[in-house]
Structure formats: C-alpha cells, structure tokens
Chain A
Amino acid sequence: MKTKSRCNPTRHIGTGMLRVDAADKVRGKTQYLNDRTYPGALHATVVRSPTARGILKSLTLDPAYDWKGVTVATAEDIPGENVMVMHDRSMPLMGAVGAELRYRGEPVAVVAAATAEKSMEAADHVRLDIEQRPALLTLAEAIALFKKSPKKLELLKTQNIEKGDIRRGFAEADEVLEAEYWAGHQEQLYLENQGLIVFPRKDGSIYVEGSIQCPYFPVNELNAALDLPPEKIRVKQTPIGGAFGGKEDYPSMLAGYAALPALKAKKPVKITYERHEDMLFTPKRHPVWVRFKTGFKKDGTLTAIECDYILDGGAYLTISDVVMYRGILHCALAYRCENVLIRGKVARTNSMPNGAFRGFGAPQAIWGLESHIDAIAEKVGKRPDAYRLQIHARPGDRTPTGQLLTEDNGSTHCLDLVLQRSDFAEKFKQASRGKLRKGQNKYYGIGLSFFAHGSAFTGDGEAKFKAKGRVELALLEDGRPGVNIRVSSTEMGQGVHTIFTQIAADGLSLTPERIRFPYADTGMAPNSGPTVASRTTMVVGNVVYRAAQDLRNQIEAFASRRYFKGAAARMRHSKLHAKGFRALPFLRVARDMREELGEVNGAFQFILPDTVQWDQSRFKGDSYPGYSWSANVAEVEIDPLTLELTVTRVFDVIDIGRVINPMTATGQVEGGLTQALGYAVMEKMGTGKNGLFDASRLQTYIVPTALDVPNYDVKFVEYPYPFAPPGAKGLGELPMDGLAPAIANAIETAIGVRLRSLPITPEDLFNAVIPPA
C-alpha cells in the first residue's frame, strides 16, 4: 500500500529544478582550492614511513642540506596529545621516534617550504632509521590466519547480531548452503584530489579551508592534538570536486599535518596531493571476506542465516567500527528469517587504514548476501525473481535487530516493478548457461539483486546527535533581502545546494531566487552533522524545512502586527497576504523586519519520535530511522572468443521516499551505478610486497569510461518518510550497493559458473571456465 505524503502541495519539491551551481560550474567560474592563490602560504609535503611495519629508531635532518626557509614538524611539535580521536584514540597524528610504525606511508614528519617543489626536495633529506618488523599486509593473509587459528588474528573491533536461535534454525532446515565471498579495495577517485590550507591566527586560533566533506570533523579532531578549544578552530569548505566518503575522515588528518608546520612557522600552510600520492595514501573501501551459512526448507523458506563478516581495517581502527556495524546490519536485512547470527570483525593489517566510501560496509554485505540468495534459489529449483518475491522482507516483518518494518517501506513495489520493467522472467529463459543458444553469438545472462539501505546514522546516532540548522533573513549580494540556509552540509557535486534551496523555498513559500546556501562554515553554521550516511536530504533537509517554516511563522507574525492590524497573515508565493488587505511583497516585509528586529532566524533541531528505540549494548532495536529500498537487474554479454564482458543494460527501481528533485536524483543514481560497475568488473588494487598499492595511477587503476557505461533504466517509487515533512529517505549510497551481485548473478546465468571475488575480470572468467593447458 502506498502511503500518503503529509506534505502540503508544494511548488519546488518534486520538480527537476536546474542546479543552482550549474552555471558557475559549466563556465569554469567555480574556484576550487587549487584555483585560488594564497600569497605567502607555505606548501607542505608529508614524510612517510618507507616500511609497512617497524620501530622508528631515529629521525634526523641531513646536515649537508640547506634547511633555510624550510619548516620541519614532527611528533615533538604537537602542542597537545599525539592522537587522532576518531573512535578509539589509537592512531597517532604523527609516528613518533620510539614508536611502532604500522603501515607503509604512515606520516612521521611534515616539511613546509615556499613552494611544493622545495618541500618535496627537502622531504627527501629527512633521514629515518627504522627497525623492521614482520608485516601482515593483506586481508587474504589475515583470513588464512583466521582459518588456521581464529585467535591469532588481531582484531580492532567485534560485534554480533543475534535473533532467535541459530541452532534451532539449522535443526529445522532441510538443507544447508555455505559459501565465501571476497571483495578488494576500491578507490573513491574524486576528480579533485585532497587538499586544504591552515591559517594560524594571531589570537592563537586557526582557520582551515579546503576540500572537506564534514567541516565539523577537523574541529572535533584537532582540539586534542592542538590543545585548542573548539571555538578556536574554524573550518570552511571550498567547492568540492567529489568526495564519496574519501573526504569524510581523511581531511582531519590532513588538517593535522598542515597545522603543525603552520603553528611552528606562524604562516599559512597549504597541503595538496597529486593523484599518485592521493591514491597511495588515503583511505579506500574496506576489503571484505564474508562467509554465509544458511539453512532452509525444501521450498526455500530460510530457517537460519549465519554470517561471518570480516573487514580489513588497515593499521588503525579509525572509523572502521561504524563501517562494520553498517555492514553487519545489512548482512541479513532484506529477507525473512527468524534465526540469525552475524559475527562482524575488523581485522588489523599493516596497510593504509580504510575509511568511508559510499555504501560504508553495506555494498560488501549485499555483495555476499545477494550472491548467496541466488545460489539458494538454484539449490531449491526456483527462479531468482520468484524466490525473492517469496522471501523478501516487507511491512509487518521484523529485521534481524527486531525493528518493525512499517508501511513506508516500498520493498515489494521495487521488486515487482524492476521485474516488470526488465521483463526478467522472459529474458531469464534466454540466458546461455555456458552454451550459446540459437541466434546468440555472445553468452547472454541476466541477474537480479534486491536490498535495503538504512538511511542516516546507525542506531541512535541521529536521536543523540540532534542535527541543528538555521535559516536566516539576510541581505543578499544584490543588497536586497533574502534568506541564507545555515547548515553544515557540504555541496560536493551531489546537489545539496539545489535540494535545500527547493526545500527552503517550499518551507517559506518564497521564490528560490531569494535563497542562498553559502558554503558550509563552522564559524557561521550550527552543527547539522557530517554529509554522510545518505542522511542529508532526509535528516538535514527536514531541519531546513522546519527552520524555514519557523522563519515563515515569524515573518507572518511580524506582518500581522506591523501591517495587518493583527489579522492573520499568510506568506504565499513570496507575498504576505491577509484578509481585507492588499498583499505585500516579501522584499518589503523582510527589509522592515530586519530594520526593526536586527537578526532574524528560523531554527530547528532534529528529533526522532520516542517510539524509535535502539540498544547499542545489545545491538537490538531500531537500527535506522528509516530504510530506502532498491532492486537492480543487470544484463551481460560475454564474448566466447575472448571472455570479454559487457554489461549492456541495468534497471534500477528505488524507493527513496519523496523524490525532491527527479533530475538530480536520476543523475546521482546513474553516477553511483557507474561507480558500482567499476567495483564489479574493473577496479582492482593489489598490494605489492613493499606494502604499496600496485594500481596507484589513472593509467593502472581502471574505472569505467563513457563507452563502458550500459543503458540505464532508473525509476523511483515513493514511500515517503513519515517523520519528516519533506518525506525524503536516503539516496546517495543505494546505487553503490547492489549492482555488483546483480552482475555476478548475470554472469552465472551466462556461463554457468559463480564468481565469488570482486572485481570479476576476463582473467577471472578465464580461470573459472578454461581448464589449465
């Protein structure tokens, strides 16, 4: 059943309004960090550990080198604690002399000089004496150890999810199926590399600006290391050329690196990576090993889902605990099963700590589960579509943590519609299954995946965080009144400036031309939380809408008193109306209001209803404020001559609640699906014996080009989120979640072999189907 939106009829929400940043971006007027000049700024280069593991015995400066004009900062120059707070305070900002270095590239010093060239040259003259220790470089090594003796594996975090009784579940099963699935690193590959600049101020405060996805993160992170109170750290985003999670946690480290020489030299210090350094030494998507063991009846009814989900955390935990939580919460989310046991782990390896990337652990979980569900369907002799229709979760069901799925979950609709649009049942009959059918000159296959994605922070994150936002009456650049949206959400290409302009316009009933969304700045905007977790439109969008309504109420009250002799005023379409009076334009009312009252703000703080409950210690309850749903169908062709693979068509039906802007939403889906296509069949990053990634340039790290992109068929179904008037649920991460297993399932129907490790390349198909010579 489709629920009705509680929204009033609106003018801008739901329309494909042109992006507010489009004109400047296509004309090249937008100034990114490296388009700006910062006179007098020094440029910093990070000095890194040349070994994957060892004790730093000494760090000395080459006495023969001329160090004039060069500032070198090490752990000794850290004013506060040598710690990145993150989630467990285990990672130092800088490797210190005497300490253990845990990954190739771990920073031990920062060198700043007048030019980038000079700082790179000087960095080569910092001498490190390191006592080597044996290193564990990859997840493959870690899992081999785990299989031999689980206790030998060094774990940074563990968490289980339990529902029902797993032993009873297997006892009730007619059959049991067990399989393992792997996936490797994935690089975010934002167009604009990492970079920021730190300005030390005379009053002891610092100002940071740069390509930063979550401006409040460096504020929180640096206060321990720099021993500065949060109010003395101001962070502003410059226009961001893509982030995808890659600029969530990492800019905090980058700000730390730049701040040390900046404070020492008392000069602004800029740090920016070129592509090679960015690819080698910034966080990636976590490699995963996931083992599913499922029990089921002859008709396919699931009686038990047991799952081990192990992420490669890299050398330090950083934010891998929450990535793992999101992962395990998606390991058995989309299907009915009364007995579930999921064991999540973050393994430690001597590699660059992995971090945030669109999907945040969920794509790895869904990759395993959706491959496994197809394998079960085959075992019980059902088509993958019919089987999913039978067992998928729907309103009235409870998730593995016991959350009741309410009517705002459009799971069945997504599945039905994607099957219908792709003509799945009919095309499934034509799949080659390893033998060319009449009329086929390529192996043909079609595959399905189905999944949910929890919108916003995991667990009680949003309830605790209480995102804040303001909408302020202000003079715009033309000297006339308008409003500024003041939230800490960042525009990084995904379109939030446009979306929030639409939402504010409807909340106020004001033309979007009078609304601005200045770049996020911790000095100007309250903390509405990081721009992550598919939470921005749903959570912060709601804050903006309610703050806009608050401002509208204030404007109406003012107008009623000032012009309408107390008669009720109503703001509609940028005018103030009252019965028996001539309507007054917003511009006049706003000007008078500012003159009389000074600062005028609408404000709101996000709250969740008391009915939403989460118990973090038992990992039970409402694990997300809401769920978006999606079903993907992929069609593939495989050349029998060479085993080259082409993904020809992809269908995606998504329930993201109310669609605020169908044009930008479709763009976000197509872009995300393309990123997922790369994850599925191209993007491969190995680790060399030296601890460095082997694919660290655009030449060697293969992402899809325009010619590799299939035809997309994207369709939205709307089951609006009931607790937020705009009705939106999460979108950003969903297109990344489920395409890889849909493609793997399609490959299985094409050649009759299931591939269990991502990415799936022609070489892998060759190894799977061609017997060794």
Chain B
Amino acid sequence: MSPPMNFDLLNIRFPKTLDEAVAFQADERTRGRLLAGGTDLMVQWAAGAPPPQRLISIWGLPELSAIRVSKEMVEIGAGVTHAFLRDCTDIRAHVPALVAAAASVGATQIQARGTLGGNAANASPAGDTAPALLVTDGMVMLASAQRFRTVPLTAFWTGYRQTAAQPDEIIAAFLLPKKGRSVERFRKIGTRKAQAISKIMAASRIRLHGGTIESAAIALGSVAATPIRLGKVEAFLAGKKLSRRLVEEAEALAQASVAPIADIRSSAEYRRWTAGRLVRDALENLQ
C-alpha cells in the first residue's frame, strides 16, 4: 500500500500574476507542475502517483479568469471553472455544447474547483469538455515568458495524456468562434448520473440550410487515445441532404471509423455502437 500523501511536504509556489507564473516555468530550476483546481492531480496523488517536486499554483490568477464575448468569438480564460461556465448566461447561446459539457463534469463540488484549462491540460481522452472545444474549430492560447502563441484545438491533443504545450508554457485562454446559425449538441454517457467518468461522449456543431448540411463538426471522447474529430463522417455529411437514410449511413460510418478499447468503464463493442448512436442523436436533433 502506498503511504498517504503528506501535503506538508509539498513545495508549492503561489505566483500572483501570469507574468510571475511564466517566469517560474521559464527556468528549469524553478519550473513546477501547474496546479489549478487540483481535481485531477489530487486524485492521482491519492491513488499513489508520486507527487511532483515542485508545484506552481495558478489557481485564481486574474489573467486566466476572464470571459470576453466579441462579435465573432468567445474568449474563455483557462482558469475559468466549470461552475462558472455552467452558470454564465452570456456564452450559453454561442457555445452551448461546452456549457453542457461543463455542467456534466463530476458533481457540483468538482465543477466549483475544476477549470477548463486544467481539463485540457490533463489531456485525458475522457476529459468532458474536450469534444465540445474541438467542434468549435477554435484555438488555444499558450503563454510563456517570451510570447503568446496560438495552436488550433484540433492539433492540441497529440497523444495519450500529451499536448502541444511546451514545458515552459501555460494555457492562457481558449478562443472559440461562436456557433452562429449552427446547431450544437453534447451528450455524455457516464457510468452513472453524477460523479461519473465518461464511457463515451459526443459534441457536434452542424449547420443546416434548407434541409442540406452545409458543414458538420463532430467530436468524440473516450474512444481513442485522445479526443477526436470524426473527419470521415464530417466529410461524408457535408453538402448532403438530411434524410433518414443519410443518418443511418452516418451512424454506420461513425461506428466503422472508431477503434475504441475496453476498460473498466465499458466494452469496446458498446463504445463503437454508441459512437454511431450519438452521431445519429446529433443529426436527429438539428431542428
């Protein structure tokens, strides 16, 4: 059995600004593991993962806490909590799938601590907000001591628990195009109705005009090493007339284009089947 975590022994720093935080990260000698809400890290440590040498707390940094809504975009600071997203009426009309995803995270207490940036940085394939971020075709803004740079969200998750962020970078914000006339949907299948890690979840942003699909963005979580976009299904749907037959074909194509694994939460077969079912669900709820 692993000894319980002794928090007295943690070496933790509390920068007051983003500048201070990126300065810590710039130097290997002061660099630490970033700690935001702690809802993922604390669980990993409690389960026996070795705690890091140094921690840099970015919880509550003012630069990471803002939400800005402009004409085309919604900009969400990485430190914004799921609870804030869930309750923020200003963004609900523009990124409804993300709001729904935030409301599906864990339970009230976890939503109050967990942050959007933390969920992205943890890079779990089961991260609840990732598919909803992916379908916006937005960008993630990364901050380092030298510069800010943006990376498309579709290029951010590079492998199992890996991201495109460099060791000296901190996720600062998400720049998400508004959905406009598109219809968004989010659906999570968890192991129970709250406090659940996803068996699978789907987010979609689909634009329908006069019965024809103009564009479709569909993303799934928990079916691969990273959250993924269903590029083949999206390409298949684009420009096609919505029909019962099209929905069936898209469902089958989705099932054929994923290769999920079995784990303690679900079976590979159920995940493959529901991948298609959730694509069907998105297409059947466009009006």
Give residues in A with beta carbon < 8 Å to B. Answer: 45, 116-117, 120-121, 123, 274, 276-277, 641-642, 644, 682, 686, 694-695, 697, 699-700, 702, 704-708, 762-763, 766-767, 770, 772-773
**Structural contact, B1 and A682, CB atoms closer than 8 A:** no
When distances are taken between beta carbons in the complex, the residues of chain A under 8 Å from B272 are 773
Q: Quick one: closest A residue to B48, CB to CB? A: A276
Measured in the bound complex, the distance between the Cα atoms of B265 and A198 in whole Å is 40
What 5 A-B pairs are tightest by C-beta distance, nearest first? A707-B193, A117-B3, A705-B194, A707-B194, A763-B270
With A117-B6, A763-B270, A770-B273 known as contacts, the answer to whether A704 contacts B1 (CB < 8 A) is no
With A641-B280, A763-B266 known as contacts, the answer to whether A274 contacts B4 (CB < 8 A) is yes
When distances are taken between beta carbons in the complex, the residues of chain B under 8 Å from A706 are 194
Measured in the bound complex, the distance between the Cα atoms of B191 and A767 in whole Å is 17
A701 CB to closest chain B CB (Å) equals 9
Verify if B72 is at the interface (C-beta below 8 Å from A). Answer: no
A46 CB to closest chain B CB (Å) equals 9
Q: Quick one: closest B residue to A700, CB to CB? A: B264
When distances are taken between beta carbons in the complex, the residues of chain B under 8 Å from A120 are 1-3
B64 CB to closest chain A CB (Å) equals 27
- Select the residue from B43, B47, B265 with max chain A CB neighbours within 10 A: B265
**Structural contact, A642 and B274, CB atoms closer than 8 A:** yes
Measured in the bound complex, the distance between the Cα atoms of B3 and A686 in whole Å is 25
When distances are taken between beta carbons in the complex, the residues of chain B under 8 Å from A123 are 1
A419 CB to closest chain B CB (Å) equals 29
Measured in the bound complex, the distance between the Cα atoms of B43 and A700 in whole Å is 12
When distances are taken between beta carbons in the complex, the residues of chain B under 8 Å from A707 are 192-194
**Structural contact, A705 and B195, CB atoms closer than 8 A:** yes
User: In the complex, which of the residues B196, B264, B267 contacts A694, with contact meaning CB atoms closer than 8 Å?
Assistant: B264
Q: Kindly supply a per-residue 1/0 record for chain B positions 192-204, scoring 1 wherever the CB is within 8 Å of any chain A CB and 0 otherwise.
A: 1111110000000
When distances are taken between beta carbons in the complex, the residues of chain B under 8 Å from A702 are 191-192, 196
User: In the complex, which of the residues A642, A699, A766, A773 contacts B255, with contact meaning CB atoms closer than 8 Å?
Assistant: A773
When distances are taken between beta carbons in the complex, the residues of chain A under 8 Å from B19 are none
A171 CB to closest chain B CB (Å) equals 45
With A121-B3, A766-B270 known as contacts, the answer to whether A642 contacts B189 (CB < 8 A) is yes
A118 CB to closest chain B CB (Å) equals 9
Question: What are some 27 contacts across the A-B interface (CB < 8 A)?
Answer: A117-B3, A117-B6, A120-B2, A121-B3, A274-B1, A274-B4, A276-B47, A277-B1, A642-B274, A642-B277, A642-B278, A644-B189, A682-B191, A682-B192, A695-B264, A702-B192, A702-B196, A705-B107, A707-B193, A707-B194, A708-B194, A762-B189, A763-B270, A766-B267, A770-B273, A773-B255, A773-B273
When distances are taken between beta carbons in the complex, the residues of chain A under 8 Å from B87 are none
**Structural contact, A641 and B193, CB atoms closer than 8 A:** no
Q: Kindly supply a per-residue 1/0 record for chain B positions 251-276, scoring 1 wherever the CB is within 8 Å of any chain A CB and 0 otherwise.
A: 00001000000001111011011100
Measured in the bound complex, the distance between the Cα atoms of B191 and A123 in whole Å is 36
Known contacts A45-B1, A763-B267; 13 additional CB pairs below 8 A are A117-B6, A276-B47, A277-B1, A641-B278, A641-B281, A700-B265, A702-B191, A704-B192, A705-B107, A705-B193, A708-B192, A766-B267, A766-B273
Interface size on B, residues (CB 8 A): 30
With A762-B270, A766-B270 known as contacts, the answer to whether A699 contacts B197 (CB < 8 A) is yes
Measured in the bound complex, the distance between the Cα atoms of B67 and A380 in whole Å is 65
Measured in the bound complex, the distance between the Cα atoms of B266 and A169 in whole Å is 44
When distances are taken between beta carbons in the complex, the residues of chain A under 8 Å from B273 are 766, 770, 773
A364 CB to closest chain B CB (Å) equals 23
A186 CB to closest chain B CB (Å) equals 16
A453 CB to closest chain B CB (Å) equals 28
Q: Quick one: closest A residue to B272, CB to CB? A: A773
Measured in the bound complex, the distance between the Cα atoms of B196 and A705 in whole Å is 10
B200 CB to closest chain A CB (Å) equals 9
**Structural contact, A116 and B194, CB atoms closer than 8 A:** no
B225 CB to closest chain A CB (Å) equals 20
When distances are taken between beta carbons in the complex, the residues of chain B under 8 Å from A700 are 264-265
Q: Quick one: closest A residue to B195, CB to CB? A: A705
B105 CB to closest chain A CB (Å) equals 14
Measured in the bound complex, the distance between the Cα atoms of B189 and A276 in whole Å is 26
Q: Kindly supply a per-residue 1/0 record for chain B positions 23-51, scoring 1 wherever the CB is within 8 Å of any chain A CB and 0 otherwise.
A: 00000000000000000000100010000
Task: Find residues 151-198 in chain B having any chain A CB closer than 8 Å to their own CB.
Answer: 189, 191-197
**Structural contact, A766 and B269, CB atoms closer than 8 A:** yes
When distances are taken between beta carbons in the complex, the residues of chain B under 8 Å from A121 are 3
When distances are taken between beta carbons in the complex, the residues of chain A under 8 Å from B47 are 276, 697, 699
Measured in the bound complex, the distance between the Cα atoms of B278 and A767 in whole Å is 18
Q: Quick one: closest B residue to A766, CB to CB? A: B270
Q: Quick one: closest A residue to B191, CB to CB? A: A702
**Structural contact, B194 and A641, CB atoms closer than 8 A:** no
Measured in the bound complex, the distance between the Cα atoms of B271 and A762 in whole Å is 11
Measured in the bound complex, the distance between the Cα atoms of B107 and A706 in whole Å is 11
When distances are taken between beta carbons in the complex, the residues of chain A under 8 Å from B197 are 699
A671 CB to closest chain B CB (Å) equals 17
**Structural contact, A116 and B4, CB atoms closer than 8 A:** yes
Measured in the bound complex, the distance between the Cα atoms of B266 and A702 in whole Å is 12
Measured in the bound complex, the distance between the Cα atoms of B194 and A706 in whole Å is 8
When distances are taken between beta carbons in the complex, the residues of chain A under 8 Å from B266 are 763
Measured in the bound complex, the distance between the Cα atoms of B1 and A276 in whole Å is 8
Measured in the bound complex, the distance between the Cα atoms of B267 and A641 in whole Å is 17
B86 CB to closest chain A CB (Å) equals 15
Measured in the bound complex, the distance between the Cα atoms of B269 and A699 in whole Å is 22
- Select the residue from A642, A697, A708, A773 with max chain B CB neighbours within 10 A: A642
When distances are taken between beta carbons in the complex, the residues of chain A under 8 Å from B191 are 682, 702
Q: Quick one: closest A residue to B47, CB to CB? A: A697
Measured in the bound complex, the distance between the Cα atoms of B75 and A453 in whole Å is 61
User: In the complex, which of the residues A642, A705, A772 contacts B192, with contact meaning CB atoms closer than 8 Å?
Assistant: A705
When distances are taken between beta carbons in the complex, the residues of chain A under 8 Å from B196 are 702
A649 CB to closest chain B CB (Å) equals 15
Measured in the bound complex, the distance between the Cα atoms of B107 and A707 in whole Å is 10
User: In the complex, which of the residues A116, A644, A695, A705 contacts B3, with contact meaning CB atoms closer than 8 Å?
Assistant: A116
Task: Find residues 76-97 in chain B having any chain A CB closer than 8 Å to their own CB.
Answer: none
User: In the complex, which of the residues A694, A708, A766 contacts B193, with contact meaning CB atoms closer than 8 Å?
Assistant: A708
Measured in the bound complex, the distance between the Cα atoms of B280 and A682 in whole Å is 26
Measured in the bound complex, the distance between the Cα atoms of B265 and A642 in whole Å is 15
A339 CB to closest chain B CB (Å) equals 42
Q: Quick one: closest A residue to B1, CB to CB? A: A277
B282 CB to closest chain A CB (Å) equals 11
User: In the complex, which of the residues A116, A117, A277, A699 contacts B43, with contact meaning CB atoms closer than 8 Å?
Assistant: A699
Measured in the bound complex, the distance between the Cα atoms of B235 and A318 in whole Å is 62
Measured in the bound complex, the distance between the Cα atoms of B43 and A280 in whole Å is 18
Measured in the bound complex, the distance between the Cα atoms of B186 and A313 in whole Å is 45
When distances are taken between beta carbons in the complex, the residues of chain A under 8 Å from B280 are 641
A310 CB to closest chain B CB (Å) equals 26
When distances are taken between beta carbons in the complex, the residues of chain B under 8 Å from A773 are 255, 272-273
A632 CB to closest chain B CB (Å) equals 21
When distances are taken between beta carbons in the complex, the residues of chain A under 8 Å from B107 are 705
Q: Quick one: closest A residue to B256, CB to CB? A: A773
Measured in the bound complex, the distance between the Cα atoms of B281 and A772 in whole Å is 21
A411 CB to closest chain B CB (Å) equals 34
A539 CB to closest chain B CB (Å) equals 37
When distances are taken between beta carbons in the complex, the residues of chain A under 8 Å from B270 are 762-763, 766
When distances are taken between beta carbons in the complex, the residues of chain B under 8 Å from A117 are 3-4, 6
When distances are taken between beta carbons in the complex, the residues of chain B under 8 Å from A642 are 189, 274, 277-278
Q: Quick one: closest B residue to A48, CB to CB? A: B1
Measured in the bound complex, the distance between the Cα atoms of B1 and A45 in whole Å is 9
When distances are taken between beta carbons in the complex, the residues of chain A under 8 Å from B269 are 763, 766-767, 772
B223 CB to closest chain A CB (Å) equals 14
B3 CB to closest chain A CB (Å) equals 4
Measured in the bound complex, the distance between the Cα atoms of B224 and A730 in whole Å is 51
A474 CB to closest chain B CB (Å) equals 41
Measured in the bound complex, the distance between the Cα atoms of B269 and A770 in whole Å is 10
A653 CB to closest chain B CB (Å) equals 27
- Select the residue from B4, B264, B265, B272 with max chain A CB neighbours within 10 A: B264
Measured in the bound complex, the distance between the Cα atoms of B194 and A697 in whole Å is 16
When distances are taken between beta carbons in the complex, the residues of chain A under 8 Å from B189 are 642, 644, 762
B127 CB to closest chain A CB (Å) equals 15
